Amino acid sequence: MSQKCRIYSLEDFVELRKAGKLASHILDYIAPFVQNGTTTAELDRLCHEEILRYNAVPAPLGYNGYPKATCISVNHVVCHGIPSDIKLQNGDILNIDITVILNGWYGDTSRMYVVGEASKKALELVKVADESLALAIDLVKPGVYLGDIGYAIQAYVESKQFSVVRDYCGHGIGKVFHDEPAVFHFGRPRTGLLLKPGYVFTIEPMINAGGYKTRLLSDGWTAVTCDHSLSAQFEHTIGVTENSHEIFTLS
């Protein structure tokens, strides 16, 4: 199965930078509100309001019927957690995933947050997820294969006795939310798409403290770990440049 990737121009990169910067701003903005006793619905409402203030649109809202502006995935929720009236508690770890559409361009990024004091294991999981994304991004430049990136993430995560989720992947992005190519967070070196300048995609490894298997809840969105172990994820939107890469979603 051969995958393609659109090529975006330098003018497109200017727009992607604006969208990416806004998405990362929302993650900065929400950080002080992530507290014991706050509901994820309240965090979603605050993010939604802040996105609208910039004349942007939250991409998840209405996407294939998704009901909220953001995805907030707490503890054993792997991704696509639907904000709800359940209150955050001391020791929870959560991912907030923001995708904005600004002037027709998408910016997609997510980070982990910790409520109060979390367990050593939870903090280690968050750190390894963060580091796995960073080392993957470091590899991005023309001439590298997507399989090299997946392999690097998997090798690092498994060396730390954690597992990489197989059921969800990164994706091409630009003027559409989810485009080709699929960016797997596991794989074999020198396989898959060869990177070229102008490619734009997300890398968004989900890693679990236990096994890699996931299960979808009956709401049709919420993905959880089968063994109920903790899960962590970070995401950036990245463009391939002539010699290296640009992270659009830096704050």
Min CB(76)–ligand MF3 separation in Å: 17
- Give yes or no for residue 163 binding ligand MF3 (CB under 6 A): no
8 Å CB contact between 144 and 238: no
**Whether 248 contacts 16, CB under 8 Å:** yes
3-state SS, 89-112, equals CCCCEEEEEEEEEECCEEEEEEEE
The residue of the chain with the least Cβ separation from ligand MF3 equals 60
Please return the burial class of 4, using the count of CB atoms within 10 Å of its CB with bins 0-12, 13-18 and 19+.
exposed
Nearer to Co ion, 121 or 149 (CB): 149
66 binds ligand MF3 (CB under 6 A): yes
Give residues 10-49 in contact with ligand MF3 (rule: CB under 6 A). Answer: none
80 binds ligand MF3 (CB under 6 A): yes
Say which DSSP state 64 is in: G
Provide the minimum distance between the beta carbon of 178 and ligand MF3 in the complex, in angstroms, as a whole number: 6
Query: Which residue stretches of 32-75 are H helix?
Result: 40-53
Among 24, 40, 73, 99, contact with ligand MF3 (rule: CB under 6 A): 99
Binding-site member from 15, 44, 97, 179 for Co ion (CB under 5 A): 97
34, exposed or middle or buried, with CB in 10 Å at 0-12, 13-18, 19+? middle
User: Phi/psi zone of residue 128: left (φ > 0), alpha (ψ -120 to 50 degrees), beta?
Assistant: alpha
Candidates 62-70, 114-122, 131-139, 238-246; binding stretch for ligand MF3 (CB under 6 A) = 62-70
Residue with tokens 């409402």: 45
The least distance separating ligand MF3 from the CB of residue 214, rounded to whole angstroms, comes to 14
Residue 242 CB, shortest distance to ligand MF3, in Å, is 27
Task: Report if residue 108 touches ligand MF3, rule: CB under 6 A.
Answer: yes
Does 205 participate in binding ligand MF3 (rule CB under 6 A)? Answer: no
Interface positions with Co ion (CB under 5 A): 97, 108, 110, 202, 235
